[in-house]
Amino acid sequence: MSDNEKNFLQIVDLKKGYGAGETRQEVLRGMNFSVAKGEICVLLGPSGSGKSTLLNIIGGIDNADGGYISIGGDKLQDMSEKRLTQYRRKHLGYVFQLYNLIGNLNVKENIETGAYLSDAPLDIDELLHTLGLYEHRYKLPNQLSGGQQQRVSIGRAIVKNPDILLCDEPTGALDYATSKEILKLIEDINQKYGNTVVMVTHNEAIRGMADHVVKLRDGQVRSNERNDRKISAADLEW
Amino acid sequence: MFLFLVLTIGFVSGMYVANESMMSANRSGAEKYKLEYGHFELKSQADDALLSAIAAGDKADVKQFYLDKAQKELDEKFRSEFEKEFDAKFQTEFAAKFRAQFDPTFREQFDAQFQAGVLQQLIASGADQQTASAMLPAAVAQAKASGAYQAAYDQAYPAAYDQAYKAAYDDAYAGAYDDAYATAYQEAQDKLQTEIDEKYADAEEKYELNDPDFKPVPVTLYENFFRNETEDNNNDGQSDGTVRVYAPTEDINLACLLDGRFPASADEIAIDRMHADNVGVRVGDTITVGGEEFQVVGLLAYVNYSTLHEKTTDLMFDALKFDVALVTEDGFARLHESVHYAYAWRYVTPPADETAEKSLSDDFMRALLTQTVVAENDLQDYVPRYANPAVNFAPDDMGSDEAMGGVLLNILTVIIAFIFAVTISNTIAKESPAIGTLRASGYTRAELTRHYLTMPVIVTLLAAVVGNILGYTLFKNVVVGMYYNSYSLPTYQTIWNGQAFLKTTVIPVVLMFVVNLLIITRMMRHTPLEFLRRQLKKSRRKKAVRLPSWRFFARFRLRIIFQNVSNYVILFLGVFFVMVLLAMAVGMPSTLAYYQDNSENMIFAKYQYVLKDYEDADGNAVTTAIDGAEKFSLSTLLHRSDVLDEEVSVYGVEPDSRYVLCPGLADLTGSRVYITQSFSDKYGIQVGDTVTLDEKYENKSYEFTVAGLYDGSQSIAVFMPIAEFRETFGQDENAFSGFFSDAELTDLDLDNVATVITIRDIQKMADQLDHSMGSYMTYFQYLCILLSAVMIYLLTKLIIEKNENAISMVKILGYQTGEIARLYLLSTTIVLVLADAVSVFLGTAVMKTAWRVIMASYSGWFDFRMEPVGYVKMFAFVLIGYLLVLLLDFRRIQKIPLDRALKGAE
């Protein structure tokens, strides 16, 4: 693995705060770490540790106050609004805790919203099979269970085969069994398509499936380590 | 929405305040300026006896008058008529017989006398009696041969004949007189009685002279004489119109002075303010009236001319070509046209309401009619106040404006209420978990409903307060300006209008309250758990509609359309409503322009001279030597309907008429007629239908079968061959009503002319409407663009707000603003363009129907016309409004933050 691949995603002295004056709160206080291309990186931390803010800045939907993020050598701070959009369009897939599906589009159409953005999208029917949603492809999101909705969300993110898949508490709203199914799906996708996965969670157990675990607290990196005892998502327990 | 409500309420409030203030000024002005209860015009000036009789208000005994008059005439004429008749009869029946009897007798007597004479001559020449007797036959034969006999015979015959004839005549007359005079006199008297009975029966029926409910109506009469003169505003020698010049009055139909002063000398005049504004005449200018110069010293508004209607039958007033003016008595004497002997009246006991006024007027007219008849005068015109458009048009119009303003406000309020309701509905959906939590915590549905109801009600209330303030200040002046631009109204004072408060405050608030209450109550029916789970739609578990395999963006847009059907329905209704208004704003000028440009094709002769009678005062037929003049007959009948009893002109025209070009008209017989296209359009009468027309004042009806339509005239008219006309209406074979002509008939004695119908009668309505409303229509078009833009903005804002999460999400996914706009704005654009296109035609259709309903209550017919470019304009105006909105919506989409999706998932 080249240095570029090792430092595919670089977070350098990243700072972010909200509010002003006495009410100002520093959420990220100079964060540093890198994520290698194709690995699953799990960001662990309690509420308020800054993990979602970090994910939003990586996703280009929020700005840092200091430091920078680079992806494949490109610094997000240097990008114009238009380039940032292109960056999200070409390189990122996003999976949210609450799925964020478009309610008036059916399963297939929600996935097509992602496919439209790619010059070489994955085959949607094949992906629907992979996701186990083929039979549900004409259903609206509100006709699906939480797990099924999250699968659609993953499908929408992955259909354009992004370089990085950002997952913000993807199992946060799901039950145990469904959560494991979703994690397994993410793992399978990572293995099948080789996307870099950055997953934010407060569930310590999920670290087991990660290649790389970063623990955050109070806006800082408390630990940044490789997981040498990686296990399959199917074997995770909590 | 607040601004929109403020502006709408403000304008309507301004309209109510202005209307009420001006109506109040109009009402109080009726007393202040001593408005008549009506007026009538006599052919000649009434003497004191007639005026006293009319003022008493009682009927004259017309029947006795006719009888006395007839008896007098009978007495005067019967003997001569009897003699004439006897003479004629004697001549035809006895003269030849008498001669046959007289001639042989006379010859016998003459021969005897002649022979006696010859005998005497022979004796005188010396012959004795015997010789003379012997010579006599030869001498007589010689006299016959020489002609002396015949000469003597011829000389003697006439005198003898006349004497004998006279004796025989006298004998025969004496015998005939004894035998027939009394009988003939009685017969003549009986015949007259019958004729008078019939004549009176007609009049009685016509005017209900024997109405048992008749009560005498005492009135006070006032002379209100005037002359109709030509007016030359710019003194260029060309007549610019007609000015009705009044002599000063003290106690009736006074004028409100709006500028300058009243005339004080013979060369001063005060003219109508509205007309002066229209033609650019100011105080201090000089104008030429009836060929005489007058200085304009004042501008006024006559209380009986709030609109400048020249004739009571005019569909529209004419403030451009018609004027009313006041001069001094000396000034009046300077003028030349014949004086119109108009008398205004006021009831001694004023009526309590319009019903009572009509009843009084009916009784008064009967009394007036009888008194005029017995005074051997002629009633030329009778106009009670309630039927006088010059008095009623303005208040009626202001009244209908008020009603229309009220409906407009209510429709807009309901549309805004629905927009509010949908907004609140969206807010409730957004705040669903919070509402669920509150409900679970013990808050009642009523408490939450009150919470969500507060905003629209308070906004409406505040808008009403601000709107009313603007209504009483800014908008009132706008509306007042509009009315002063059309009507000759007196000065006014702004008055508090309780109705304005009710209609612009209470009703909008109530409408807003009710509409929102219904929607919010429906939303609040959900259980706390449904709120917590955001399960607010009944159709949540319904399957998605399967769409064809179109391109992804096309399907996406279709989904957005399905998602926002309710919003789009409101959008469609709003666009449709605006389009109805736009149809008026665009169609009205188009209609007027059409009639202004094509008026020449809408009258079949440039002049229609309607005569008082086809014979002049000397009994000679009225003729003209002007080439091209063509006789026609005319009768005015009534077409009765629930809405209006409309006058219909029934023409009898020459079979080969050069003016009324109806192929086949000459072949029509019996009751088969042509009717005008306008008549057909207005009442939906088709070829083959039967039209029933009634005599105006008689219980007599005519049924005509429509054989064809004639589109050469704008009037409501019927055409038939003149011979059929005479037969239908029982007229003499030479009778006619006047002349059609394309040239002025300068050789007609104007004393014989009742009226002249010219192209101006067609044009003046279009001209006046154009002047009064034409310029406002342009502003109205702008207002409609604004209205549509505001309404579309409010609705598209709702649609975007509803989809903020989705838009934010697709932004996160990497969609560019242009692509998002293509998804979310283009779907609305498609709906808008479709709604726009459909509404153009629907709005026009509704306007056409409304126009038809409005026109049905007026005399005459103007078809609502929308040119093809008008449809394009209407379409473009709404689209222009939408394009403005599109820019705002684009910016709104741009501003939706990326993290919006993270804060509230759908």
**What CATH number did the domain enclosing A169 receive?**
3.40.50.300
B905 inside 8 A of chain A by CB: yes
Confirm whether B752 is domain-assigned: no
| Record: contact B813-A89, CB cut-off 8 A | yes
pLDDT of residue A210: 95
| Record: contact B813-A94, CB cut-off 8 A | yes
Same domain, B236 and B384: yes
Element (DSSP H or E) covering residue B270: strand B268-272
CA dist B160 and B768 (Å) reads 83
Judging by DSSP bridges, how do beta strands B672-676 and B690-694 pair with one another? Answer: unpaired
CB atoms within 10 A of CB B152: 16
The vertex-A155 CA angle with A154 and A157, nearest 5°, equals 65
Q: Which amino acid is at B697?
A: Y
pLDDT of residue B259: 93
Of A51, A39, A29, the C-alpha closest to A7 is A39
A143 inside 8 A of chain B by CB: yes
Same domain, B246 and B380: yes
CA dist A123 and A125 (Å) reads 6
Q: How many residues does chain B have?
A: 906
A218 inside 8 A of chain B by CB: no
Confidence of residue B382 (pLDDT cuts 50, 70, 90): confident
Number of domains in chain A: 1
Q: How many residues does chain A have?
A: 238
Confirm whether A31 is domain-assigned: no
User: By three-state DSSP, how is residue B674 classified?
Assistant: strand
- Model confidence pLDDT, tens digit, residues B812-825: 888 998 999 999 99
Q: What is the mean pLDDT of residues B384-396?
A: 85
Q: How far is CA B277 from CA B33, B267, B698, in A?
A: 22, 21, 44
| Record: contact B544-A106, CB cut-off 8 A | yes
Phi, psi (rounded to 5 degrees) for A215: -100, 130
| Record: contact B563-A104, CB cut-off 8 A | yes
Confidence of residue A16 (pLDDT cuts 50, 70, 90): very high
Q: What is the mean pLDDT of residues A27-45?
A: 94
Number of domains in chain B: 5
CB-CB neighbors (< 8 A) of A125 in chain B: none
Mutation for testing the B interface, residue in A16, A102, A124 having most B CBs under 10 Å: A102
Confidence of residue B202 (pLDDT cuts 50, 70, 90): low
| Record: contact B541-A143, CB cut-off 8 A | yes
Here the ipTM equals: 0.88
Closest CA of chain B from A231, distance in Å: 31
pLDDT of residue B172: 81
User: Is the model more confident about B430 or about B893?
Assistant: B893
B548 inside 8 A of chain A by CB: no
* Residue A41 structural domain: 37-66+85-235
Same domain, B559 and B464: no
pLDDT at A71 over 80: yes
Closest CA of chain B from A143, distance in Å: 6
* Residue B266 structural domain: 35-58+217-392
Q: What is the mean pLDDT of residues B234-253?
A: 90
The vertex-B224 CA angle with B221 and B229, nearest 5°, equals 160
User: By three-state DSSP, how is residue A223 classified?
Assistant: strand
User: Is the model more confident about A217 or about B337?
Assistant: A217
pLDDT of residue A120: 86
Kindly tell me the sign of the dihedral angle through the C-alpha atoms of B776, B777, B783, B787: positive
Phi, psi (rounded to 5 degrees) for B294: -130, 145
Same domain, B420 and B535: yes
Confidence of residue B440 (pLDDT cuts 50, 70, 90): confident
Q: What percent of chain B has pLDDT over 70?
A: 96
Same domain, B345 and B447: no
Confidence of residue B22 (pLDDT cuts 50, 70, 90): confident
Mutation for testing the B interface, residue in A85, A87, A99 having most B CBs under 10 Å: A85
pLDDT at B547 over 90: no
| Record: contact B559-A105, CB cut-off 8 A | yes
Tokens at residue B781, please? 């078009």
A47 inside 8 A of chain B by CB: no
Confirm whether A230 is domain-assigned: yes
The vertex-B496 CA angle with B490 and B499, nearest 5°, equals 105
- Model confidence pLDDT, tens digit, residues B264-319: 999 999 999 989 988 899 999 999 998 899 999 999 999 999 888 888 767 678 88
Q: Which of B178, B207, B236 is the last residue before a domain boundary?
A: B207
pLDDT of residue B698: 59
CB-CB neighbors (< 8 A) of B552 in chain A: 109, 112-113, 115-116
Confidence of residue B906 (pLDDT cuts 50, 70, 90): very low
Of the candidates B546, B553, B809, the beta carbon closest to that of A102 is on B809
Q: What is the mean pLDDT of residues B339-349?
A: 92
Confidence of residue B542 (pLDDT cuts 50, 70, 90): low
pLDDT at A121 over 80: yes
pLDDT of residue B73: 78
pLDDT at A21 over 80: yes
For all residues of chain B together, what is the average pLDDT?
Answer: 86
Confirm whether B546 is domain-assigned: no
Tokens at residue B813, please? 């996914």
Confirm whether A30 is domain-assigned: no
A89 inside 8 A of chain B by CB: yes
pLDDT of residue B630: 94
| Record: contact A104-B805, CB cut-off 8 A | no
CB atoms within 10 A of CB A8: 22
Same domain, B233 and B373: yes
CA dist B431 and B520 (Å) reads 13
Same domain, B306 and B377: yes
A118 inside 8 A of chain B by CB: no
A79 inside 8 A of chain B by CB: no
CA dist B28 and B12 (Å) reads 24
pLDDT of residue B699: 63
CB-CB neighbors (< 8 A) of B805 in chain A: 100
* Reduced DSSP (H G I as helix, E B as strand, rest coil) percent helix, strand, coil of chain B, to 5: 60, 15, 25
Confirm whether B547 is domain-assigned: no
Confirm whether A13 is domain-assigned: no
A146 inside 8 A of chain B by CB: no
Confirm whether A23 is domain-assigned: no
Confirm whether B735 is domain-assigned: yes
Confirm whether A20 is domain-assigned: no
CA dist B857 and B336 (Å) reads 39
Confirm whether B616 is domain-assigned: no
Of B194, B181, B308, B332, the C-alpha closest to B241 is B308
CB-based contact B576:B842 (threshold 8 Å): yes
Same domain, B654 and B595: no
Closest CA of chain B from A65, distance in Å: 17
Confirm whether A77 is domain-assigned: no
B635 inside 8 A of chain A by CB: no
pLDDT of residue B305: 92
Confirm whether A163 is domain-assigned: yes
CB-based contact B891:B799 (threshold 8 Å): no
pLDDT of residue B599: 75
A173 inside 8 A of chain B by CB: no
The chain A residue lying nearest B811, using CA atoms, is A85
Residues contacting residue B258 through CB under 8 Å, at least 6 positions apart: B273, B298, B299, B300, B301, B490, B491
Tokens at residue B3, please? 């601004």
Same domain, B239 and B385: yes
Q: Which of B685, B715, B747 is the last residue before a domain boundary?
A: B747
Same domain, B404 and B376: no
Q: What is the mean pLDDT of residues B638-645?
A: 81
Same domain, B424 and B531: yes
User: By three-state DSSP, how is residue B380 classified?
Assistant: strand
* Number of inter-chain CB pairs under 8 A, A vs B: 90
- Model confidence pLDDT, tens digit, residues A85-104: 888 888 899 888 888 898 88
Q: Which of B392, B411, B445 is the last residue before a domain boundary?
A: B392
Closest CA of chain B from A235, distance in Å: 30
Same domain, B696 and B683: yes
- Model confidence pLDDT, tens digit, residues A165-204: 999 888 887 888 888 988 998 999 899 889 999 999 989 9
Of the candidates B556, B814, B905, the beta carbon closest to that of A105 is on B556
Confirm whether B609 is domain-assigned: no
